[in-house]
Amino acid sequence: MTSVPPAALPDGYRLAQLGDADRDLMLDMIRWGFVFEPHPEDAGHEVWKPEAGRSVGIWDERGEGAARLAAMHTSYQMRIPVPGGADLPTSGLSWVVVHPSHRRRGLARAMLGAHFNRSLERGEVLSALYAAESGIYGRYGYGPATTGIDLKVGRGATLRDVPGAADLISEIDTLDAAQHGPIVDQVHRAVTRPGWITRDTEALRDRHLLDKPSERRETERLRILIVRDQDGTPRGYALFRRQAKWSHTGSPKGAVQVREAVALDPAAARALWGTLSDLDLMSTVETGFLTPDDPLLHLLVDLRPTEQTLADAVWLRLLDVPAALASRAYAAPVDVVLDISDTMLASNEGRWHLRGDAEGAEVSRTEEPAHLALDVADLAEVYLGGTQLAALAGAGRVRELEPGRLHSTSTGFGWPVAPGMSWGF
């Protein structure tokens, strides 16, 4: 795979790997970039643990005195399940920051180029991120590959009955990371869904279970609901906290705030949401990160009283187009030549002959005429099966160069299980 040509930095700037000695500068840069100050009560609780060798900064060496950190990013070693079940090596990009004094100078493009190079050298086929601003990353070849639904449900919402749900045991406890962490990890890993990134390092697992004092100002400590079968095997869990509220007449108006909810089967989903939606003194249940096909949306007898917000979630970047296309399965046979444009990775540019079905695929460069043309960012958006190629074509983002090729290829790129994941990084 051809490496990314290094983007030119303005005179006086230097790109270099960051390490433990730069930790305080990195934390300060994150505060500048994401506009926050740490809460004093969180001191000693929140510990950021960047993975060794995966942080890069740009130093401003202009003028006299010590160099100043002008931009930075880090990444996590991850694997993303793709349609068909393969787990692809992925670089989870995070904390991309350019200091306000150094914007509009090409520093972000230089950093992203370095990120692509370093990821490819590690054999990472994909890069993934959550975008603080969604308008930024399309220019670098990222596309929104999963969507998430934020849902607010009233207490006592009627749920459909599911056979076996009444036989399951629901237990609620105060979250203890040492005690409950292995259960959370066990259940989370058992999910089969494209895009379902697991937390594969101790740092990521610890961060997800962190219960910061500042988050308890108007709520309680973090709780855990575990759903088990009669043998005691966990079949689902939810991490949540309750916020007590009261109306002017003294009626309870509390909210159940769900951080993460995972169920491995319909009965477990019914038992989990049945418990969360019927807690004393609560008026609503508020949850995020739901996939468009989440069981809760189909357990509810009446969706009209709910409040739903749909938003982009994981943004994906195909660093190695042929490897990525060859690694997933296809819902229907595809035999198509794709003309891919990629302004940052020349090795992805050009025409690729894709032949694939539910058993696998093969991809090769070709000089044959192309059937469809699209940008690598649009290819990323359809890659996990959450968006239809035909939908992008309707917006002019995919061009059908040979009539009749679009719909069959769009069907092949689809998948019966919506992509998604239940947490952010």
Question: Within 10 A of 283 (CB to CB), how many other CB atoms are there?
Answer: 17
Active site residues: 137, 425
269 is in an annotated binding site: no
108 is in an annotated binding site: yes
Q: At what angle do helices 405-413 and 376-383 cross, to 10 degrees?
A: 50
Contact 73, 94 (CB under 8 A): yes
Contact 97, 56 (CB under 8 A): no
109 is in an annotated binding site: yes
105 is in an annotated binding site: yes
Closest CA to 221 of 283, 287, 176: 176
Distances from the Cα of 333 to the Cαs of 26, 162, 172, in angstroms?
48, 35, 47
Cα 250 from Cα 255, distance rounded (Å):
15
Cα 119 from Cα 129, distance rounded (Å):
13
96 is in an annotated binding site: yes
Contact 8, 105 (CB under 8 A): no
Which residues in 306-331 are b (16+ Cβ under 10 Å) and which e? Answer: beeeeebbbbbbbbbbbbbbbbbbbb
Cα 126 from Cα 186, distance rounded (Å):
25
159 is in an annotated binding site: no
351 is in an annotated binding site: no
Provide the annotated binding site: 96-98, 104-109
Provide the annotated binding site for acetyl-CoA: 96-98, 104-109
